Amino acid sequence: ASVQSGGSLRREMGDAAEEALLRSVNDALGEANGWRDASSTELTRAYDTLVITGGLMAGLAEQNDPAMRGMARDMADSTLRAFGLTP
């Protein structure tokens, strides 16, 4: 699996860490009652939201502005915490 981030996630984390992160997020979603009980329309909306949010974080992370990169990291940390994962 690959995260579309222009390679910045892979450069920062490495392939093994990226795979572990994606597996952890997938497992957390699979265990979430709201996710399991969601309709196909709700799942599509959630997926679309996650793709847009991920793209936004990736775009911010690739900026030359340290404040923007920090904002991307904060958003990523908050997203992971929302899924019960430790950044």
> Per-residue pLDDT tens for 36-64?
888 999 989 988 988 898 889 989 988 89
- pLDDT the model gives residue 12: 64
Residue 73 CA: distances (Å) to CA of 10, 24, 30, 33, 52:
14, 18, 24, 27, 16
- Rounded distance, CA 45 to CA 63, Å? 28
Q: Which residue has the tokens 């329309």?
A: 41
Using a cut of 0.95, tell me whether the model's pTM lies above it. Answer: no
pLDDT band at 6 (very low <50, low <70, confident <90, very high): very low
Torsion of CA 12, 53, 2, 84, to 10 degrees: 80
* Span 79-87, average pLDDT: 76
Is the model more confident about 15 or about 69? 69
Task: Indicate whether 85 pLDDT > 80.
Answer: no
